Amino acid sequence: MILLMTHRRQPGARLSTTRVRAVALKEVRDYRRNKFIASTMAVMPILFMVAPVITIFNLPASIPAGRLDAGIGISLLYLTLIPALVPAVISSYSVVGEREQGTLEPVLTTPVRAEELLLGKALAAFVPTLAISYAMYGIFLGLAAAIAHPNVTTNVFQAGRILAQLLFTPLLAGWSIWAGIAVSTRTSDVRVAQQLSSLVSLPPLAVTALMGFGILRPTVGLAVAFGAALLAIDVLAWKLVSALFDRERLITGSKA
């Protein structure tokens, strides 16, 4: 009899929160002590804050509405680069990094399922990214209120813009994380994974760019619609990446 072991999740199999938590905790501990990742996560958001702050500070009071929208849109686009690019650093390292340092095989010998392992890794990238992104946005709003002209501040504080930013931040981070993990499971070199992850995390930014340049109006309804679409894509991406997670290929480099 030929046995074909695909190691897919069994229908109805329970997702263990204990294992997901264990993976997430370990990842956070490990990243905190990884100087490259810690410094990238600290420096990159600050760099992406500089341009938006300078932009809104330089927007004159008498600027036409169209140019004001574009200026603020570009500033917010910079801010959405934080949830798009920061988690890519972590998630692209998550699987291929473990493979390179030889820690993946012992983990795969435990009862952990692919979904649990990947969800734990995703959470470990998601939570700090969300905290950093919201913190940066909060600082941006604070600076806008403090230093920008009142008409600029009014535009920055539009409900549609705020909702879009709050909604897109976690969803863009989710996309970036799953894209990064997907790349990380299919490549065999950390640097290649990081470069590819940065690239594949960018497409959803097109939506925020369209809003920023006034091609799409950032209404509440539009933000919710795109948010729902991104959420659905994030969930599908989790399932897809889990299905593509091939223990045999990761251990031996050959397909099952």
Partner 1 sequence: MNLTADPATAAPSRTAPALVVEGLTKRFGTRTAFENVSFSVNHGEVFGFLGPNGAGKTTTVRTLGTLIAPTSGHATVAGLPLIPQNGVEIRRRIAIMPEAPGLYLRLSVAENLSYFAGLYELTDGPARIERALRAVNLLDRADELCRSLSKGLRQRVGLARALLSDPTVLFLDEPTSGLDPVAAGTVHDLIDALRNRGVTIFLTTHRLAEAERLCDRVAIMNTTLRLVGTPDELREQLFSKRLEIRTREPLADPERVLAGLAGVESWHRADDGAYVLAVADPGLVAPDAARALVAAGADVLSLSPSQYSLEDVYLRLIDTDVEAQNR
Note whether 121 binds partner 1 by CB under 8 A.
no
In the list 44, 53, 63, 112, the residue contacting partner 1 (rule: CB under 8 A) is 112
CA-CA-CA-CA torsion for 41, 46, 51, 55, nearest 10 degrees?
130
What would the two tokens of residue 196 be? 């590819």
13 near partner 1, judged by CB under 8 A? yes
205, 84 Cβ separation under 8 angstroms: yes
With binding defined as CB under 8 A, does residue 15 bind partner 1?
A: no
* Residue 12 binds partner 1, judged by CB under 8 A: no
Q: Does 3 bind partner 1 (CB under 8 A)?
A: yes
CB of 254 to partner 1, least distance (A): 5
User: CA 114, CA 180: separation in Å to the nearest integer?
Assistant: 16
Nearer to partner 1, 98 or 234 (CB): 98
Q: Which of 72, 78, 113, 180 binds partner 1 (CB under 8 A)?
A: 113
Binding segment toward partner 1, per CB under 8 A, in 29-37, 53-61, 156-164, 168-176:
29-37
Please tell me whether residue 8 binds partner 1 under the rule CB under 8 A: yes
Query: Which residues ranging from 171 to 200 are in contact with partner 1 (CB under 8 A)?
Result: none
Q: How far is CA 42 from CA 4, 47, 166, 227, in A?
A: 45, 9, 20, 27
Residue with tokens 């997430």: 24
Nearest to 93 by CA among 122, 113, 115, 116: 122
- Rounded Cα distance between 223 and 229, Å, is 10
Half-sphere exposure of 92 (CA within 13 A, CB side): 22
Q: CB of residue 60 vs partner 1: minimum separation in angstroms?
A: 50
Which of 47, 57, 67, 109 lies at the binding interface for partner 1 (CB under 8 A)?
A: 109
The binding track of 233-252 with respect to partner 1, each residue x by CB under 8 A or -, is: --------------xx--xx
Q: Which is nearer to partner 1, 33 or 146 (CB)?
A: 33
| Size of residue set near partner 1 by CB under 8 A | 41
Q: Does 106 bind partner 1 (CB under 8 A)?
A: yes
Note whether 47 binds partner 1 by CB under 8 A. Answer: no
Nearest residue (CB) to partner 1, 8 versus 149:
8
Q: Which residue in the set 16, 153, 158, 219 belongs to the binding site for partner 1 (CB under 8 A)? A: 16
Residues of this chain that interact with partner 1 (CB under 8 A) are 1-8, 10, 13, 16, 18-19, 21-23, 25-26, 29-30, 33-34, 101-113, 247-248, 251-252, 254, 256
